[in-house]
Amino acid sequence: MGNMKLTLKIWRQADAKAKGAMVDYQVSDISEDMSFLEMLDVLNDRLVREGQEPIAFDHDCREGICGACSLFIDGRPHGPSRHITTCQLHMRKFKDGDVIHVEPWRAGAFPVIKDLVVDRGAFDRIQAAGGFVSVNTMGNLVDANAQPIPKLDSDKAFDAAACIGCGACVAACPNSSAMLFVAAKVSQYALLPQGRPEAKTRALNMVEQMDTEGFGNCTNIGACEIECPKDISLENIARLNREYLGAELSKE
């Protein structure tokens, strides 16, 4: 058992149509070894015992890779530490007596479903618009080593592909822009020979879908990069812009 006492101010909203509000909760006996979500588990356990409704929040793998958890903690997506998701944030980052604000992602394209749970279906639709290589399953493709890929390109493609689709970039951006997310996917494929044949249509279609979903424009603020739990670089946005411009200028 730990001994931290905290005041939590948490966004409660019954459903998509309801009006939400910040509600205060006191928690005690919080150990510094707990993760932030385990601290919320402790609170929820108590709420259920008291006959109240527990706080809804998305989470699944709890090891920083599925991208489900999505809390806006004290004004920052995934809280105060860099390069980690909410589930990896541990209470040793806080101190006894702290007041902590917990909100959902705020973006028009991510409507709140309940409490801290938002709908990020827009990301799936952007992916479906072009985030793939058009290759069917087939058992007789060329050997994987038939085409060497320079390690540097491959490593950069990996850096971009490390995106977990959590939406922190959108939540961090004053414009609610999804450029970093889209740029990461476009870059992964743009850097690999397998992705080149469809590079133009991919960039055009994914950006078009991004705009349709209602995400804002990029004005080079850079908050997305700072808050990205997977350290996706702004370089990718520059690459997306190049890919997009090239595609736009040469489209038939």
Could you say which residues in the range 3-62 bind another protein, by CB under 8 A? 14-15, 31-35, 37-38, 41-42, 44-45, 47-49, 51-54, 56, 58-62
For the CB of residue 86, give the shortest distance to another protein in the complex, in Å: 12
Rounded to 5 degrees, what angle do the CA atoms 100, 112, 11 make? 25
For the CB of residue 148, give the shortest distance to another protein in the complex, in Å: 3
Candidate list 12, 74, 101, 127; residue touching another protein; CB under 8 A: 127
Q: Does 114 bind another protein (CB under 8 A)?
A: yes
Give whichever of 69 and 221 is closer to another protein, judged by the CB atom.
69
DSSP per-residue codes, 26-61? EEEEE-TTSBHHHHHHHHHHHHHHTTPPPPP---SS
Residue 137 in tokens = 């399953």
Give whichever of 145 and 220 is closer to another protein, judged by the CB atom.
145
Candidate list 10, 164, 182, 199; residue touching another protein; CB under 8 A: 164
Helix, strand, or coil (residue 139): coil
Give whichever of 90 and 200 is closer to another protein, judged by the CB atom.
90
Residue 52 in tokens = 């109240």
Candidate ranges 72-80, 116-124, 170-178, 214-222; the one touching another protein (CB under 8 A)? 116-124
Candidate ranges 20-28, 76-84, 212-220, 239-247; the one touching another protein (CB under 8 A)? 76-84
Q: Does 149 bind another protein (CB under 8 A)?
A: yes
Q: Does 192 bind another protein (CB under 8 A)?
A: yes
Candidate ranges 97-105, 118-126, 216-224, 237-245; the one touching another protein (CB under 8 A)? 118-126
CA 83 to chain centre: 12
Give whichever of 53 and 248 is closer to another protein, judged by the CB atom.
53
Q: Does 144 bind another protein (CB under 8 A)?
A: yes
**Amino acid found at 154:** S
Rounded Cα distance, 13 and 34, in Å: 26
Q: If you ran DSSP here, which 8-state letter would residue 244 be given?
A: H
Give whichever of 128 and 219 is closer to another protein, judged by the CB atom.
128
Report which of 6, 20, 118, 13 is spatially closest to residue 69, judged by C-alpha positions. Answer: 118
DSSP per-residue codes, 167-200? -HHHHH-TT-B-HHHHHHHHHHHHTSGGGGGGHH
Residue 218, C-beta contacts closer than 8 angstroms, at least 6 positions apart = 173, 175, 177, 179, 237
